[in-house]
Amino acid sequence: GAGVSQSPRYKVAKRGQDVALRCDPISGHVSLFWYQQALGQGPEFLTYFQNEAQLDKSGLPSDRFFAERPEGSVSTLKIQRTQQEDSAVYLCASSLKWENDYGYTFGSGTRLTVV
């Protein structure tokens, strides 16, 4: 597609449930990022992939968060045993190159609400 696609757009989960959020980057984009945006705050970095390799996961808040990109295209962010503090918009971004051009394209995000 022409842009970065994220699904679902909205997800309501009961506390303790596992969720999986999907990101379809722009075809051919090498770099892929996940950011978490809590209500009223700026996005915060979670993790970064270059092709299928997860090169930086320093922003993942706990071991309940797990991300993968097994074939270097689609990525999934999984949150196990969701907690209320996980409620946020999860943004995915992709970039054609891995080097420093910062030419990101962001998706519209998945809004996760944990009740």
Partner 1 sequence: AQSVTQPDIHITVSEGASLELRCNYSYGATPYLFWYVQSPGQGLQLLLKYFSGDTLVQGIKGFEAEFKRSQSSFNLRKPSVHWSDAAEYFCAVAPIKAAGNKLTFGGGTRVLVKP
Binding site residues, partner 1, CB under 8 A:
4, 31, 33, 35, 40-45, 48, 55-56, 59, 91, 93, 95, 98, 100, 102, 104-109
CB 88 within 8 A of CB 31: no
Half-sphere exposure of 44 (CA within 13 A, CB side): 13
- Sign of the torsion formed by the C-alpha atoms of 21, 77, 24 and 92: positive
* 61: enclosing H helix or E strand: none
Residue 101 Cβ, how far from partner 1 at the closest point, in Å?
A: 8
Nearest to 113 by CA among 84, 74, 93: 84
Choice between 35 and 114, CB closer to partner 1: 35
Report in angstroms how near the CB of residue 98 gets to partner 1 at its nearest. 8
- Kindly state the smallest distance separating residue 45's Cβ from partner 1, in Å: 4
Q: Looking at beta carbons only, is 80 or 96 nearer to partner 1? A: 96
Residue 86, helix vs strand vs coil: helix
Of 40 and 70, nearer to partner 1 (C-beta) is 40
